Amino acid sequence: MDSSLIEQLNDPSRAKRLAAAREVGGLIQSGELQTERKQEVNNHVHTRYSFSPYYPAMAGFKAWEAGLTTVGCIDHDSVSGGQEMIDASACFGIASTIGCEVRVNADGTAVEGRKLNNPNTVNNAYVVIHGLPPRQIDKAREYLRPIAKARGLRNRKMVEAFNQRLATLGIQSLDYENDVEAVSEVRDGGSITERHLLYALVLKLIAHCGKGEPLVHFVESELSVEIPDKIRALLADAANPHYEYDLLGILKSTFLDDVFIQPDNEECISVYDFIPFVLSIGAIPAYAYLGDVRGSATGDKKDEKFEDDYLDELMPELKRIGFQAITYMPPRNSLGQLVRVQELCREYDFMEITGVDINSSRQSFNCPIITEPAFVHLIDSTWALIAHEKLANHDETLGLFHQGNPLAAKPLGERIAVYADIGRRMDCFHPDSIVAAAEELGL
């Protein structure tokens, strides 16, 4: 097979990406292109519509190539990559789910003023819209528009702070439109995050110093950034194919603190506004558990305490507010942390959702820990999530948590089991087949 066909899955043109996806899909269905299928799932892959090396079509293919059975598109403050992920994944025969990640403020809650799961801030929390019915993408996009606008204003102020620092170092200033927006998909409905600002900075540093030892010396001596030995070895290698992402990670965990500007409540909306909206579009509101960080798995978070000291207080408050699920990333925490989270999820009747955020070329799409006994139930919940999304798109009363659902009186665990069965019966090349699968089981 011509490797250029795969490269077209990451073409700037959406039409070319989807045309390539259809062609690749034909090769998969004919058996010319094969992969070893595993039971692994990932519901939290970022795309270029927030920050990632991959457009949705390429992210879906990377997930298929890694042997995943499902893939989820979750971007920051944007749902603009969702439909492409759905369409491309269907070409590849991999099940998909979509949503987005936003931040809310905890004003008026029992945990107001606490450090939740958002580094650099207090009173703000990352939350996720999971299982977004595709017909609600436009409503979600409109809801997110003022959030993205507020974030853009803060981004520009942080770029000004970046430039004040760069001026003292003799480095060319960042231009917001030509340097920051240029490495984003903001003109096509994408968002701009702190990672975009840092990526633009990384490119300036490389242009100024080159790669390898000169850049390492500059970062340590001029930016006063302490680089761990492992990362120093990676940055000393000018041929490192992940160079920009490795440098970005270390700057995110150190340099960003010096220029970070706190988001306001226009950007971090009220949790009491977030929950009703998510429920109104038939999606599932989820709190993203972070937990105390001790040795960041991705190198972009410093050791820091988050929710663990007051988790027994937080979980019932999340339930009271209206959250229906807790999402977490097994590779990021200790087994002890996650066993405690799982016990509290059962106590307060939360759906458990998993996913590992992919936003660097260095990261693997594989997550074998999901198949271990402590986490294998998350595979069932993933298939249930996918069934929820597809069925709610067909009929809102078939949403997993809808009061009019025929299974509404059954315990959550039983509903998840039924929906997981339905999800697995779906022909992933033809996702609409899930409706017939549900009817076969009397739903």
**pLDDT tens per residue, range 211-237:** 999 999 999 999 888 899 999 999 999
Q: Is the pLDDT of residue 321 over 70?
A: yes
Q: Which residue has the higher pLDDT, 10 or 2?
A: 10
The per-residue pLDDT of the chain, averaged, comes to 94
Q: For residue 327, what are the CA distances in angstroms to 350, 394, 420?
A: 10, 25, 17
Q: Is the pLDDT of residue 105 over 90?
A: yes
Among 109, 52, 37, residue whose Cα is nearest residue 275: 109
Where does 290-431 show beta strands of DSSP type E?
325-328, 351-354
Mean pLDDT of the region 284-298: 82
Mean pLDDT of the region 327-351: 96
Query: In this predicted structure, what is the pLDDT of residue 411?
Result: 97
Number of H helices, E strands in the chain: 16, 8
Q: Is the pLDDT of residue 434 over 90?
A: yes
pLDDT band at 297 (very low <50, low <70, confident <90, very high): very low
Q: In a 3-state reduction of DSSP, which class is residue 112?
A: coil
Q: Facing residues of 74 across strands?
A: 99
* Kind of pairing between the strands at 269-270 and 124-130: unpaired
Mean pLDDT of the region 352-378: 94
- Helix pair 271-280, 311-321: axis angle to 10 deg: 50
State CA 230 to chain mean position distance: 26
Q: Is the pLDDT of residue 300 over 50?
A: no
Say which residues have a Cβ less than 8 Å from residue 242's Cβ, sequence separation at least 6.
Answer: 234, 360, 361, 362
Helices (H), 76-228: 82-92, 137-167, 194-209, 213-221
From its phi and psi, is residue 212 left (phi > 0), alpha (psi between -120 and 50) or beta?
A: left
DSSP 132: -
Contact at 8 Å (CB) between 103 and 128? no
pLDDT band at 199 (very low <50, low <70, confident <90, very high): very high
Q: What angle do CA 268, 271, 272 make, to 5 degrees?
A: 130
d(CA 334, CA 118) in angstroms, rounded, equals 19
DSSP 175: P
Residue 141, phi then psi, degrees to nearest 5? -60, -45
Query: In this predicted structure, what is the pLDDT of residue 1?
Result: 63
Query: In this predicted structure, what is the pLDDT of residue 304?
Result: 87
Q: How many residues does the structure list for the chain? A: 443
Among 309, 318, 312, residue whose Cα is nearest residue 344: 312
Q: Is the pLDDT of residue 173 over 80?
A: yes
Residue 331's Cβ-count burial label (10 Å; 0-12, 13-18, 19+) is: middle
pLDDT band at 323 (very low <50, low <70, confident <90, very high): very high
Query: In this predicted structure, what is the pLDDT of residue 302?
Result: 63
Mean pLDDT of the region 173-179: 96
**pLDDT tens per residue, range 60-73:** 999 999 999 999 99
Query: How many CA atoms lie within 13 Å of 137's alpha carbon, on the beta-carbon side?
Result: 18
Query: How many CA atoms lie within 13 Å of 320's alpha carbon, on the beta-carbon side?
Result: 10
Say which residues have a Cβ less than 8 Å from residue 324's Cβ, sequence separation at least 6.
Answer: 284, 285, 286, 350, 351, 401
Calculate what percentage of the chain has a pLDDT beyond 70: 98
Q: Is the pLDDT of residue 404 over 50?
A: yes
**pLDDT tens per residue, range 339-350:** 999 999 999 999
Query: In this predicted structure, what is the pLDDT of residue 296?
Result: 47
**pLDDT tens per residue, range 131-163:** 999 999 999 999 999 999 999 999 999 999 999
d(CA 437, CA 394) in angstroms, rounded, equals 13
Q: Is the pLDDT of residue 253 over 90?
A: no
Tokens 């403020």 locate to 105
Query: In this predicted structure, what is the pLDDT of residue 336?
Result: 95
| 3-state percent breakdown (helix, strand, coil) of the chain, nearest 5 | 50, 10, 35
Q: Is the pLDDT of residue 334 over 50?
A: yes
Amino acid identity, residue 382? Answer: T
State CA 89 to chain mean position distance: 17
